[in-house]
Amino acid sequence: MIVNHYRLRSSVRTYNLGGMGCSAGVIAVELARDLLQVHRGARALVVSTENLTQNWYLGAERSMLVGNALFRMGGSAVLMTNVPADVPRCRYRLAHVVRTHVGADDQAYDAIFEMEDVTGARGVKLSKNIMDVAGGALKRNLTELAPLVLPLREQARFFAHLGLHLWQQQRGWAWAWRGGARGASGTSDPHRRRGAGASRSTPSRPPRPLLPAGTPSASASGPSSTAAALGAAAASPPGPYVPDFHTAFEHFCFHTGGRPVIDVLEKALDLTTVDVEASRYALRVYGNTSSASVWYEMEFLEAAGRMRSGDRTWQLAFGSGFKCNSAVWVALRDVPPAPDVIREG
């Protein structure tokens, strides 16, 4: 359609990435980057669209009706180039693209699935487990992205937390085996089974362990309570370390998969309301425009006058498959604000 409308020359190569889901925009950016690395002195136009007509569901299955209410028509276009003469006009430089595909897992594969209902009506089914699947895909994506973008001091904190976690786990299980299972339970000591006093070879009390903050002491609760508390502490190690992503990015553009998706990302990544304002704006004004949504958010950041030279922007998009894809852009110059572009829905 684009080639025909603008009467482009026949040497222009076109690629259709239909069926890639809401993360197709980031996938197309990666494909364009790979092509530009091979073909010097070239430009690539990336067009992301959401077309509801093809997958509009006319049946009555609730899990397949969600898509009708969630998605909206939308589109965006981004011009990428490797022509040196174009650099003064470029706004951004593509720094990283990280793609994660977990389709080998059946639960992830079925999370977003095009199918027919019992009446034969075709549509897209959204699984109730989609948030769990997205969380697992995001974790794998961040595992690969974090070393590329986080400063060394933040990576050092991560490994320090990991080492402390492993040390606490080993200490907890070791004490639970020596003191709790063998001495405090009262079932494996032969002298206790006979009702006799403890033998001379048995220590008067087990060595005092290092207790996590807030754990009751042995003097207050007795050895049995201490063993139970340590067993619980060993079975419940500290939560995963959340890096400070503000050390890597100034702006965040998360795919507008819905308000719960944005809420979960804001909480899980320890972000502020300002960090996710662009995502909430795009969702409120335009709805879920699928793969084009991350560019609606970039437009908001530019129009609000927040994009400055050197700023780093993280685009994150989820898609069927199941996929989680990230793109990192670095601003090459200040983008003048355009408040007239910002709409209120």
Q: Of these residues, 253, 288, 324, 325, which one is catalytic?
A: 288
Encoding tokens for residue 132? 């769990």
Strand residues in 181-222 grouped as ranges (E): none
Beta bridge partners of 78: 46
Task: Please indicate whether residue 101 is annotated as part of the active site.
Answer: yes
- Please tell me the distance from the alpha carbon of residue 299 to that of residue 76, in angstroms, as a whole number: 10
- Please tell me the distance from the alpha carbon of residue 1 to that of residue 64, in angstroms, as a whole number: 30
Please say whether the beta carbons of 223 and 184 come within 8 A: yes
Task: Please indicate whether residue 251 is annotated as part of the active site.
Answer: yes
Q: Of these residues, 22, 141, 324, 325, which one is catalytic?
A: 22
- Please tell me the distance from the alpha carbon of residue 224 to that of residue 155, in angstroms, as a whole number: 39
Encoding tokens for residue 255? 């795919």
Task: Please indicate whether residue 22 is annotated as part of the active site.
Answer: yes
- Please tell me the distance from the alpha carbon of residue 59 to that of residue 53, in angstroms, as a whole number: 14
Distances (CA, A) of 203 to 107, 172, 178, 245: 52, 20, 12, 50
Burial annotation 299-315 (CB, 10 A radius, 16+ → b, else e) = bbbbbbebbeeebbbbb
Q: Of these residues, 5, 82, 161, 255, which one is catalytic?
A: 255
- Please tell me the distance from the alpha carbon of residue 106 to that of residue 109, in angstroms, as a whole number: 5
Task: Please indicate whether residue 96 is annotated as part of the active site.
Answer: no
Q: Of these residues, 251, 253, 324, 325, which one is catalytic?
A: 251
Q: Of these residues, 68, 82, 90, 101, which one is catalytic?
A: 101
Catalytic residues: 22, 101, 251, 255, 288
